[in-house]
Chain A
Amino acid sequence: MNLLTLTNVSKSFGALTVTDDVSFGVPQGQALGIIGPNGAGKSTLFNLITGNLRADRGQIDFAGRDVTQVSPMRRCTLGMGRSFQIPQPFANLTVFENLVVAATHGQSRSESEVTDQCAAILDQTELMPRANDTAGSLSLLQRKRLELARAMATGPRLLLLDEIAGGLTEGECQALVQTIRSIHASGVTIIWIEHVLHALTSVVEQLLVLDFGKVIGLGEPEAIMASREVREIYLGIEV
């Protein structure tokens, strides 16, 4: 059964159609990668899924209900967790407080109930040594980890990762991929936008290709990467 289903979703900014009749479903437990050139509408698609933007047309179903008109915070409490392309930690809160805030509000529970869970997430994302430092003092890799940790703290069924590996060194990227794998292995459904393809394809089971707001391919990563259309449009290779 699909955890998330988009049906004929479209979004325009003036004359520019950035999401053009997009339909796809993500089954419970799957990891889906989204690729596409810059400006293909990947982040807009995320904003439509999380509710930061409202779709002009079409329907978005999440966890068995129509969420097309549901607010971002309600979608969060229904089980959508998101990391941002540019990390947006609460810079003046400590790392631990960042998680506590996300957990108490995302799951509507009291602070004492979420403390252990937040500590476990800090362990999983290797942020425990920085737990009591303000988030503004973190390095880039640590900020990316915090994005991941904070999204996890909301108790998501669906985790949306927006270019989380961007700007990291190869070693850092590998370390982050391990963390994402372990999260996926624990049963969380993942949608991941990424330009670092080897990081993406080492985790996801399905790959979706966007170009000019349209879905131009959806399938297993090997098949997608081998297709002529994708290589031409996305990789810019003349075949």
Chain B
Amino acid sequence: MIWLDTIVQGILLGGLYALFAAGLSLVFGIMRLVNLAHGDLIVMGAYLILTIVSVLGINPFLAALIAMPIMFALGWLLQRVVLNRVLGPDILPPLLVTFGLSIVLQNALLEGFSADSQRIGAGLLETASWNLGPVTVGIMPVLTFASAILVIVGLNQLFYRTSLGRAFRATSDDPVTASLMGIKPAGVFAMATGIAMIVVTIAALYLGMRANFDPTIGPARLIYAFEAVIIGGLGSLWGTLAGGIIIGVAQTLGAAVSPEWQILAGHVAFLVVLLIKPRGLFPRAYD
């Protein structure tokens, strides 16, 4: 029964990776922008929540609610002021700019918060668990997984049920034609990054409550997020969840064999999927 437990823990861990990845998937899906600072933005979100918690002395979930509009505004501005200027047929400029942003963010966080590792205190939630007979699950991983599903359901509703979502998808298919229909790609992109930053805030909340974080851990989170997005198929949000779960399960299975296998097993699973389905599990119908 140890295997069942391992797999369940892996699936729940996948929820966290899917949260890391959902914002990346959203931005890449709409504007083909590979945001190398995504992991650092999650870490920045975690520090923002931590600051709100310690200044106002409130519950971290409430603090995340306060952080969301701030992060949305930051994302909107980032896209408007910086990223829209470098988007174009050449993919190198946005890569360089977000790489630079990643370094700037890490150093700014070091300057502001020092290199000490921090944690967002969640009280009893941190250790609470449910005993389901053969399997015992922590409340926190279950909450994380449920949040990932809610985020993905929410984003799918936004994409397929709203005017803004149709504009997102049209711009994603062809920004030049979209602009001829009267859609302003610059505005659509700014909204998309703003919404991605709300997802980043949710990811940051769970990152900060589940483990210690310091200013330098962003890039490692970025890699898991990338792998989840690519396994799932670029632009598919449910695929991103599937990708997160595959990495999560591979990691816990690897760790069950031997602790030093945990990280490697996740990367190997990623390579195996790439080998079998190079376009990911759920690629877009038309590219």
Known: A76-B181, A92-B284. 8 other contacts (CB 8 A): A72-B179, A73-B180, A104-B163, A105-B167, A107-B182, A108-B182, A110-B163, A134-B285
Task: Give chain B residues whose Cβ lies under 8 Å from the Cβ of A101.
Answer: 166-167, 170, 178, 181, 183
B177 within 8 A of A: yes
State the Cβ distance, A142 to closest chain B Cβ, in Å: 15
- Interface pair B173/A90, CB less than 8 Å apart: yes
- Interface pair A92/B180, CB less than 8 Å apart: no
Give residues 193-217 of A contacting B (CB, 8 Å). none
- Interface pair B182/A92, CB less than 8 Å apart: no
A41 within 8 A of B: no
B177-193, CB under 8 A of A: which get 1 and which 0? Answer: 11111111000000000
Task: Give chain B residues whose Cβ lies under 8 Å from the Cβ of A90.
Answer: 169-170, 173-174, 177-178
- Interface pair A136/B285, CB less than 8 Å apart: yes
State the Cβ distance, B164 to closest chain A Cβ, in Å: 10
Q: Please name the residue on chain B nearest to A82 by beta carbon.
A: B180
A93 within 8 A of B: yes
Count A-B contacts at CB 8 Å.
Answer: 76
| Interface bracket on B | 20 to 34
Q: Please name the residue on chain A nearest to B163 by beta carbon.
A: A111
- Interface pair B180/A93, CB less than 8 Å apart: no
The size of the chain A interface, using a CB distance under 8 A, is 31
A72-111, CB under 8 A of B: which get 1 and which 0? Answer: 1100110000101000111111000110111011111011
Q: Which of A91, A105, A134 contacts B181 (CB 8 A)?
A: A105
Assembled-state Cα–Cα distance A153/B102 (Å): 43
- Interface pair B184/A73, CB less than 8 Å apart: yes
State the Cβ distance, A81 to closest chain B Cβ, in Å: 9
Q: Which of B163, B167, B181, B286 contacts A92 (CB 8 A)?
A: B286
- Interface pair A92/B172, CB less than 8 Å apart: yes
